Amino acid sequence: MQFPVSRLLLALWLGLMSGVVVAQADPPGDPAAVKLGDDGYWRDKNGDPTYKIEKDGTVDFATFQGFRRFNSTCFVCHGPDGSGSSFAPALADSLKTMDYSTFAGVVVNGRKDFLNGQDKVMPSFGDNKNVTCYLNDIYVYLRARSTGALGRGRPPHHAQKTGQYGDNEDKCMADN
């Protein structure tokens, strides 16, 4: 496990500048799915979104959706299947130590690596519903990649979309 030193320094620096004590982000913890939420997403024991993969390799619908969304929007910079590129980090590794709220914050707000003087920018996706309505999906997909529960490529089998999932999706896409 490694935590990029530049990020740690940045977090400390931002903490000092704002006078706020920076709490170390919690690692994501046990990914076991314990409960299906009303929104159609599986949750772990902490209530965070997680994946559910059956013994025969069938993935839950959100994980499959996450695979599709990741590989349509994020892979151009982060590499196919979250495996990284010379431009942006391997998210399959990042999620070993990054918790859900940190992940969501970076995707919604974006981030710029200005401490290293590099011109690498993680764009903000906060106003892109094709991303914000599928944040949980992308997260659970990458979480499954980070634990090794899911290999590279398209998951061979996936569960059908549930009514709860569909309702939640429709509501999110319709909201202004």
- For residues 73 and 136, which CB has a smaller minimum distance to ligand HEC in the complex? 73
Q: How far apart are CA 148 and CA 10, in angstroms?
A: 29
| Contact residue for ligand HEC among 94, 136, 146, 168 (CB under 6 A) | 94
Q: Which residues pair with 157 in a beta bridge?
A: 58
Burial string for 130-142 (b: 16+ CB within 10 Å, else e) reads ebbbbbbbbbbbb
Which string of x and - marks every residue 110-149 that binds ligand HEC (by CB under 6 A)? Answer: -x-x------xxxx-x-----x------x-----------
Work out how close the CB of 163 gets to ligand HEC at its nearest, in angstroms, rounded to a whole number.
26
Work out how close the CB of 145 gets to ligand HEC at its nearest, in angstroms, rounded to a whole number.
12
Q: Which residues pair with 111 in a beta bridge?
A: 122
- For residues 98 and 156, which CB has a smaller minimum distance to ligand HEC in the complex? 98
Long-range contacts of 168-173 (CB under 8 A, 24+ apart): 168/38, 168/39, 168/40, 169/40, 169/133, 172/129, 172/132, 172/133, 173/129, 173/133
- For residues 67 and 125, which CB has a smaller minimum distance to ligand HEC in the complex? 125
- For residues 11 and 36, which CB has a smaller minimum distance to ligand HEC in the complex? 11
Q: What's at 3, amino acid-wise?
A: F
Q: Are the CB atoms for 40 and 33 separated by under 8 Å?
A: no
| Contact residue for ligand HEC among 106, 149, 159, 172 (CB under 6 A) | 106
- Find the binding residues for ligand HEC in span 31-90 (CB under 6 A): 73-74, 76-78, 87-89
- For residues 54 and 109, which CB has a smaller minimum distance to ligand HEC in the complex? 109
Helix (H, G, I), strand (E, B) or coil at 12: helix
The contact set with ligand HEC (CB under 6 A) reads: 73-74, 76-78, 87-89, 91, 94, 103, 106-107, 111, 113, 120-123, 125, 131, 138
